Amino acid sequence: MTSKACLVLNRKAATRPVVEEAVKHVESKGLELRVRIPWDKDDAPRVIEEALANGAERIIAGGGDGTVNTVVNVLVGDGKERPQAVMGVLPLGTANDFAHGCGLPCDDLKQCLEIACTSPAHETDVACVNGRYFINVASGGYGAEITATTPAPLKKALGGGAYTIMGLVKALGVKPYEGRLLVPGHEPAKGNMVFMAVGNNRLAGGGHEVAPKARLDDGLLDLAVVSDGPAADVARLLTEMKMPENPENRFFHYRQLSEFTIESDRDLHINLDGEPVKDRRFEFSILPKHLRVVC
């Protein structure tokens, strides 16, 4: 018999027949599962906290990466104590980057929900930036800015092939962000970038391996930065991405750190597990093996 589990469903996904089939599948096995559907995104924390107060020992995020992020932030709270409850995932989003990065069978929701209800949980790192938590990837620069600020008609006009960081750099004639990387015990490193990713896990942006060396339990964050110039030398950039830690790289830079700060000379957009934020200073840190996750 499973521990008490509560499936918190994104309302947009709740009416999908495959979700009902998955719930019936686990119930047919005698598994104890409660289902809760928040009215909207703002209501989700209340629903999760209510489930915990009622004795839920597993909170299953039924939705995309944004739903996962909400569950993580409620479970972690102020970050002072390790949560007692376990997190599972029923991947119902468009990309499901976190679930794919965890190796979940995203094309089989019945199996995913059964895994979330019954499988052992693993101690997983939780990343923090400016007091907010994330468990997958924080991506910043022009990809995040375009997502946050570009009207849908322009995105459509750019086309699927052009709607990549390189395509956008060329199409919009962007200027790089200027700023500094601050690492405790080291001199500030000045530079520029058009795209960056801070990975606790490997995948973002619909399955792209933006942090290839990232592991969920290594106590490190993987910082990948694309600096100015690759629009004119895409071939070299692609070569450098295959050797991320090569000190001779000109356009692609990769480091693994437990804490660091990024300062930008102007507002920098960051996509935090699907949630957009904007600031000029971002302080990153890690809570090692702080949350138990079924993956």
Active-site residue list: 275
Tokens representing 294 are 């079924």
Cβ(6)–Cβ(60) under 8 Å? yes
Closest CA to 250 of 292, 191, 175, 183: 191
| 59 three-class SS | strand
Helices (H) and strands (E) counted in the chain, each on its own, are 9, 16
Q: Which residues contact 180 (CB under 8 A, 6 or more apart)?
A: 188, 189, 190, 191, 262, 263
Rg of the chain on CA atoms, in Å: 20
**Are residues 113 and 22 in contact, defined by beta-carbon separation less than 8 angstroms?**
yes
Q: Residue 102: what residue type?
A: C
- List beta partners, residue 6: 34, 59
Q: What angle do CA 180, 249, 267 make, to 5 degrees?
A: 25
> Residue 27 phi/psi, 5° resolution?
-65, -30
Nearest of 21, 275, 12 to residue 129 by alpha carbon: 275
Cβ-count burial of 267 within 10 angstroms (0-12 exposed, 13-18 middle, 19+ buried)?
Answer: exposed
Q: How wide is the angle at C-alpha 74 spanned by C-alphas 69 and 43, nearest 5°?
A: 85
Residue 36's contacts (CB-CB under 8 Å, 6 or more residues apart) are 6, 7, 8, 9, 47, 50, 51
